[in-house]
Structure 1
Amino acid sequence: MTTHIRCVPQSALADLADVPATSRWVRSGATRLHVLDYGGPGVPLVVIPGITSPAVTMDFVARELTGLVHPLVLDVRGRGLSDGGGTYTLEEYAEDVEAVVTGLGLDRPVLFGHSMGARVAAVTAVRSKVALRGTVLGDPPMSGPGRGPYPTTLEAFAGHLAQARRGTDADEVALAWPSWPRREQELRARWLSSCDEEAIAATHRGFETEDFFDWWPSVPAPTALLYGADSPVVTAAGAAEATRLLPTAALTVIPDAGHMLFWDNFPTALTALREALRPMLT
């Protein structure tokens, strides 16, 4: 990819006025990380979004969890309002999560990651640099060396980023994601240009050079894995391998959902996440 300047249009920043969260900032080395903190007295839940999902795009999930947990959603480095730069490897992303936990003084949080974020949550748990109550992984990419390619090509990501830089809208986003809720189409249209192209390219390379299953068998209990019944990312064979390699993990399939669990079947995915979290909140 040719590197282009990231931008966050004013219309995107205005979205934050409608989000019931406070912006918090931490440093991971020299990198400034932005976190949306939804507050509340519950157990902290650090939410780690996917490859092209700034924190605000997980608002519709986080705000529905505030009665159960204290959600904090990370703008992963190179996305949203967080700085870019670095190597964008799984361990660097895990260092960022560790910095959020320590920098915000979170007491034994639970980690929930979707897609790329699920891989990061697994690696953070295995590294054991911060104390956790558990992890929930949402449809983690199971591609890697010697495995099939990640089903969305880098060229497809580049095309969507080009649309965002040029200026897109919810109608154009709907051409690629017709079943998404309208607000999520609108947020993607306004926030995708905040994603750094090198971050996307490096992460995509990682999907095929860093093997999820190198880490998964060592993820400490309790852990749960949610996946879409129609997901091309976690296939039936992948779910079976995950069960074989870590039989203590709780796997739940989300019907009528592909890789984008909450965008595809929000009520069922939210219920599954709540049920996965409950045993971890002691």
Structure 2
Amino acid sequence: MRNDWTQGTVSVNDGIELYYTRTGNGDKPVLVLAHGLTGSGLCWHQLAADLEPNYDIIMFDAYGHGKSSRIDPNKRFDLVADLNDLIDGLALNRPGIIGHSMGAATAAVFAAHYPEKLALLILEDPPWFDLPVDEQKSTKTMQDWKQQNLADKKKTLKELQKNKIKESPNWEEAILPEWAQAKLDLDPAFFDQVSFDPTGWQDIASKITVPTLIITGDNDRGAIVTPKLGVKAIQILDKGEFGHISSAGHCVRFEQYKPYLTMVQLFLKQNMPK
């Protein structure tokens, strides 16, 4: 993290504390970055550093992630409401929102529910599927991921990074320390609470009115959004664009950072209010 970046917490409803890192002080157009499942706000640090000259960037830890509150089954579990409360708590005026995976799903629903509260939307491989997803299978997947996270917590940061390099040699090395730390910081109880509705994306997309860019990679490398779905999405979205980046999977920016950065910068330049 850069020395001039600041960090703090925002108290949202039901006593949940969301931790965030910020690059500016509000004197530039604001971007809120929402990470994916098992990630953290600082997993965006590479992109934030490159966008910082022109934007004030807020990278927050979702509930149960990073340094945000641990999961309490007696408190609300609503990631969209958390995002809304964060924006209100920081008194942000129509920020742009960039989300990856879980964060993209959260940002998309937020945009559908609160169109007046954001300027634009960038979705990095949201969990939107062509075919219906088996709910029972999805629940089992979450529990499998929980067990994987518990196993990850028995490893050191260096071991996690070494394993990821072996598994995904084309990942950006600059992001690996934060990626590994996020696995150790995650509250595994999150997997017992989270659920997604991947089949309802069409209704969500139909209610999004702000300029929206969907970025995805190759399906045979793990990307979720297919070209067919991408074409359908831009037909449904009021102001939609679809971008495909080759030789990348689900974590597009970790695998093909430079073309991802170029695509994001161009979209922001064309659509972000000054």
The alignment's TM-score, normalised by the length of structure 2, stands at: 0.85
| Equivalent residue for 2:152, pick from 164, 167, 172 | 164
Secondary structure of the residue aligned to 1:33 is strand
Partner in structure 1 of residue 239 of structure 2: 248
Matched, 1:132 2:118: yes
Q: Which moved more, 1:34-43 or 1:210-219?
A: 210-219
Matched, 1:211 2:195: no
Query: Which whole-Å deviations, capped at 9, do the CAs of 1:133-182 have from their partners, x for residues lacking one?
Result: 111111101149824777x9436533541333102321123233332122
Query: Which whole-Å deviations, capped at 9, do the CAs of 1:89-144 have from their partners, x for residues lacking one?
Result: xx811111111111111121111111111111111111117621111111101149
Query: Which whole-Å deviations, capped at 9, do the CAs of 1:31-55 have from their partners, x for residues lacking one?
Result: 0001111115311100001011111
Secondary structure of the residue aligned to 1:211 is helix
Matched, 1:281 2:272: yes
Q: What's the offset of the Cα at 1:253?
A: 1.3
Q: Distance in 2 between matches of 1:189 and 1:248?
A: 36
| Equivalent residue for 2:61, pick from 75, 82, 96 | 75
Matched, 1:264 2:252: no
Q: What's the offset of the Cα at 1:19?
A: 6.2
Partner in structure 1 of residue 80 of structure 2: 94
Q: Distance in 1 between matches of 2:152 and 2:4?
A: 25
Q: What's the offset of the Cα at 1:191?
A: 2.6
Q: Unaligned 5+ residue runs, structure 1?
A: 1-15
Structure 1 ranges of 4+ moved more than 6 A: none
- Any conservation in 1 of the 2:209–2:237 contact (CA below 8 Å)? no
Q: Distance in 1 between matches of 2:200 and 2:3?
A: 35
Partner in structure 2 of residue 85 of structure 1: 71
Assess, with a 3 A threshold, how the Cα gap between structure 1 residues 108 and 247 changes in structure 2: closer, same or farther: closer
For the aligned residues, what is the CA RMSD? Answer: 2.6
Query: Which whole-Å deviations, capped at 9, do the CAs of 1:161-219 have from their partners, x for residues lacking one?
Result: 1333102321123233332122322322233111122323433x3255x6333311111
Q: Which moved more, 1:153-162 or 1:194-203?
A: 153-162
Partner in structure 2 of residue 7 of structure 1: none
Mapping of residues 9-24 of structure 1, within 5 Å: 16=1, 18=2, 20-24=4-8
Q: Unaligned 5+ residue runs, structure 2?
A: none
| Equivalent residue for 2:28, pick from 29, 39, 42 | 42
- Any conservation in 2 of the 1:126–1:219 contact (CA below 8 Å)? yes
The alignment's TM-score, normalised by the length of structure 1, stands at: 0.83
Q: Which moved more, 1:160-169 or 1:77-86?
A: 160-169
Q: What's the offset of the Cα at 1:228?
A: 1.4
Secondary structure of the residue aligned to 1:26 is strand
